Amino acid sequence: MATRDGSAEWRGDLRSGSGTVSVASGLFTDGNYSFSSRFEEGAGTNPEELIAAAHAGCFSMALSNILAGDGHTPESVRTTAKVHLRNTESGPTITQIDLITEGRVPGLDQDQFAGYAEQAKAGCPVSRALAGVGQITLQASLVA
């Protein structure tokens, strides 16, 4: 299996410093991040947003694979992951991730789709890597 690289550089102290993140593929290079973009509503990216994108991408692929493997090739699977960063006694912590997925899958009903989505949530490599998160919720909707 492959090894993937991402990198980050931070300059300065926590509150007034700034940093950049990039991925080795070159698709995303020098994304700016700061205290404001991470803990407030400032411009730029942040680690939690990148985790959300990774989780949504992995989950969508895992669900599509499970569906196709059972003879239900999806027209599409679209997922949003919402990563909740909260202050706890231990400091800032990812306490919850909400997965919201919509699938266009001919021949399935809502209950079947929800069951496949639960399998994907349990088996997706990023979900497994994030097992320490207190709660990962799932809302799965079959759309026409």
Q: What is the pLDDT of residues 89-141, one digit of tens each?
A: 999 999 999 999 999 999 999 999 999 999 999 999 999 999 999 999 999 99
Tell me, rounded to whole angstroms, the distance of Cα 122 from its chain centroid.
14
Pairing of strands 31-34, 6-11: unpaired
Taking 80 as the threshold, does the pLDDT of residue 20 lie above it?
A: yes
pTM here is: 0.93
What is the set of domains in the chain, with CATH numbers?
6-39 (no CATH), 47-142 (3.30.300.20)
Q: Tell me the pLDDT tens digit for each residue of 25-66.
A: 877 778 899 999 999 999 999 999 999 999 999 999 999 999
Taking 90 as the threshold, does the pLDDT of residue 1 lie above it?
A: no
Strand order in the sheet with 31-34: 6-11, 18-23, 31-34
